[in-house]
């Protein structure tokens, strides 16, 4: 029995020595694309330090025109946090006097601004809570059980429609939500409905467990929500089919989640009311309810 204990001790010591050696050999990160800023999925494409300044290039899609104060300030915060991390890791950047922040617009690098350092190397502390600083003030599922539910499908002749307006052109986002999406690498003006839906739930503090490219289970406060996105193809009629609704309900029940939400660019038939009455744990978010759905993710700053 004693020899077994000796063998176990030797194995543990060898493992510890290997870990220490690997840690010592790991190079200091140079800000390559696989490195993300602390606290969210914002990528740092490049980090360029010099004697007097540093440049942080974020993979953050910038809007056309003015970047806006909210997005600019949040990018400054994350650049400051990133430079702090680099200095703590041993990079000799104690004398910098400014941090240049860069984002991406239409594939090109664009200056966001320059953060001046009053005393060389005396970096101000970034906010104590890493991004996202944003939290949902409401629950999108519960919101859709109230006034949003009164947004009935429109009675109109859709037979002559050429298609559905792109989501990025149809929806409007508050400046804070817009900034939060861009800090996750999502451009609200061009992103797919699936990407927007996932990012909105993430911004609202849900943890996501993807089942496919168009389905996931979102969990917050111990409640699981099964979410399915039904995209619209250009060659199909722009209305949600009953078969798609039935398939969603079956998949929701199989998921064992507490509630389910179907999100689609398509227009909603009146059948959705009947389905929601028969299965009160589900909600349908067709074209007519999309803006109300986005608005229900009201975001505010965390204190």
- The residues with which 210 forms a beta bridge, in sequence order, are 216
Is the pLDDT at 238 greater than 60? The verdict is yes
* Residue found by looking up tokens 């289970």 in the block: 217
Distance CA 34, CA 147 (A): 43
Tell me how many degrees the CA angle 265-271-253 measures, rounded to the nearest 5.
80
- The residues with which 134 forms a beta bridge, in sequence order, are 301
Q: How far is CA 181 from the centre of its chain?
A: 6
38 Cβ contact partners less than 8 Å away, ≥ 6 residues apart: 78, 81, 82, 85, 130
More confident residue, 250 or 221: 250
Q: Which of 114-128, 210-224, 282-296 has the lowest mean pLDDT?
A: 114-128
Residue 242, phi then psi, degrees to nearest 5 = -65, -35
User: What's the confidence (pLDDT) of residue 12?
Assistant: 37
Average pLDDT along the chain: 78
Contact 80, 113 (CB under 8 A): no
Please give the share of the chain, as a percent, with pLDDT higher than 90.
Answer: 45
More confident residue, 62 or 163: 62
User: What's the confidence (pLDDT) of residue 137?
Assistant: 53
- The residues with which 22 forms a beta bridge, in sequence order, are none
User: What's the confidence (pLDDT) of residue 121?
Assistant: 73
- Assign 18 a pLDDT band (cuts: 50, 70, 90): very low
User: What's the confidence (pLDDT) of residue 104?
Assistant: 96
Q: Model confidence over 36-47: pLDDT tens digits?
A: 333 356 789 999
What's the predicted TM-score (pTM) here? 0.75
Using H for helix, E for strand and C for coil, what is the string for 165-189?
CCHHHHCCCCHHHHHHHHCCCCCCC
Residue 285, phi then psi, degrees to nearest 5 = -120, 80
Average pLDDT over residues 198-217: 91
Q: Model confidence over 88-125: pLDDT tens digits?
A: 888 888 888 999 999 999 999 999 999 998 888 788 88
DSSP string covering 91-120, please?
Answer: ---TT--EEEEEEEETTEEEEEEEEE-SST
User: What's the confidence (pLDDT) of residue 35?
Assistant: 33
User: What's the confidence (pLDDT) of residue 52?
Assistant: 87
Q: Model confidence over 115-136: pLDDT tens digits?
A: 998 888 788 887 765 555 455 5
Distance CA 275, CA 245 (A): 8
DSSP string covering the chain, please?
Answer: -HHHHHHHHHHHHHHHHHHHHHHHHPPPP---TT-B-TTSS-BEEEEEE-SSEEEEEEEEEPPSS---HHHHHHHHHHHHHHHHHHHHTT---TT--EEEEEEEETTEEEEEEEEE-SSTT-PPPPPSSPSP-EEESS-HHHHTTTGGGG-PPP----TT------HHHH----HHHHHHHHTTT--TTT--HHHHHHHHHHHTT-EEEESSSSEEEEEETTEEEEEEEE---TTS-SB--HHHHHHHHHHHHHHT-SEEEEEESSBPPTHHHHHHHHSTTEEEE-GGGHHHHHHTS-EEE--
Residue spans per domain, the chain: 44-116, 135-301
User: What's the confidence (pLDDT) of residue 187?
Assistant: 93
More confident residue, 2 or 249: 249
Q: Which of 27, 29, 25 shows the shortest CA–CA distance to 38?
A: 29
* Residue found by looking up tokens 């104690």 in the block: 94
Q: Model confidence over 152-180: pLDDT tens digits?
A: 444 344 444 456 888 888 899 988 889 88
Please give the share of the chain, as a percent, with pLDDT higher than 70.
Answer: 73
| CATH fold for domain 135-301 | Trna Endonuclease; Chain: A, domain 1 (3.40.1350)
Is the pLDDT at 85 greater than 70? The verdict is yes
């Amino acid at each position: 029995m004693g020899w077994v204990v000796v063998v176990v001790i030797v194995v543990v010591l060898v493992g510890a020595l290997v870990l220490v050696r690997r840690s010592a050999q790991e190079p200091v990160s140079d800000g390559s694309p696989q490195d993300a800023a602390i606290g969210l999925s914002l990528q740092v494409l490049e980090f360029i330090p010099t004697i007097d300044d540093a440049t942080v290039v974020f993979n953050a899609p910038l809007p056309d025109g003015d970047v806006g104060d909210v997005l600019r300030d949040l990018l400054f915060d994350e650049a400051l946090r990133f430079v702090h991390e680099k200095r703590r890791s041993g990079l000799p950047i104690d004398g910098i006097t400014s941090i240049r922040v860069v984002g991406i617009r239409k594939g090109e690098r664009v200056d966001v601004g320059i953060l001046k350092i009053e005393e060389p190397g005396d970096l101000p502390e970034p906010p104590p809570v890493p991004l996202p600083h944003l939290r949902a003030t409401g629950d999108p599922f519960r919101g859709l059980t109230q006034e949003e539910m009164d947004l009935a499908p429109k009675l109109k002749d859709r037979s002559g429609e050429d298609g559905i307006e792109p989501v990025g052109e149809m929806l409007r986002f508050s400046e804070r939500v817009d900034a939060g999406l861009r800090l996750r690498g999502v451009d609200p003006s061009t992103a797919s409905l699936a990407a927007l839906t996932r990012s909105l739930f993430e911004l609202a503090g849900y943890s996501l467990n993807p089942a496919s490219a168009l389905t996931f289970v979102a969990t917050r406060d111990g409640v699981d929500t099964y979410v399915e996105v039904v995209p619209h193809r250009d060659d199909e009629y722009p209305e949600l089919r009953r078969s798609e609704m039935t398939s969603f309900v079956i998949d929701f029940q199989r998921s064992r989640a507490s509630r389910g939400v179907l999100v689609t660019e398509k227009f909603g038939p009146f059948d959705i009311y009947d389905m929601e009455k028969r299965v009160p744990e589900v909600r349908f978010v067709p074209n007519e309810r999309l803006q109300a759905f986005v608005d229900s993710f009201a975001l505010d700053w965390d204190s």
